Amino acid sequence: MSRTDMIADGFTMIRNAIRARKEDVAVPHSRMLLRVLEILKEKKFIENFKELDTPEHKQIKVYLRYEGKKNAIHSLQRVSTPGRRVYNKRKAMARVLSGYGVAIISTSQGVVTDEKARELGVGGEVIGYVW
């Protein structure tokens, strides 16, 4: 099975695991997804993650975060897809839920949050929104 959009697949697997109240989930491995997970860990949306090297293919095990009975991730949306790329200029960088959420942006400086992109003064491709 070939995968076209690894990030969307990873987001869907995380959303499904949260709805099923799982403690962890294995998602497909990609460098972009690793950087996205680093941002989610920084912003305390997930507990941790680690790379697994299975004989068939690499995976990332994501440990989900719950605050009591509520999950830390309320929504995880993929914005830019392979068929429809969405770009934001540095001056038009949107805030997610008036600053409560995080937009993940792929810039020339790497994959960063919307806040960091404003600080760096760069725009880029909007990967997704998390809140």
Q: How far apart are CA 7 and CA 36, in angstroms?
A: 9
DSSP state of 74: S
The pLDDT tens digits of the residues spanning 34-93 come to 999 999 999 999 999 999 998 888 999 999 999 998 999 999 999 999 999 999 998 988
The pLDDT tens digits of the residues spanning 100-128 come to 999 999 999 999 999 999 999 999 999 99
Class of 6-71 in CATH: alpha beta
**Domain parsing of the chain, residue ranges:** 6-71, 76-130
Helical H runs in 1-131? 6-19, 31-42, 114-120
Characterize 73-94 residue by residue with b for buried, 16 or more Cβ atoms within 10 angstroms of its Cβ, and e for exposed: beebbbbbeeeeeeebeeeebe
Report the predicted TM-score, pTM, of the whole model to 2 decimal places: 0.92
**Architecture of domain 76-130 in CATH?**
2-Layer Sandwich (3.30)
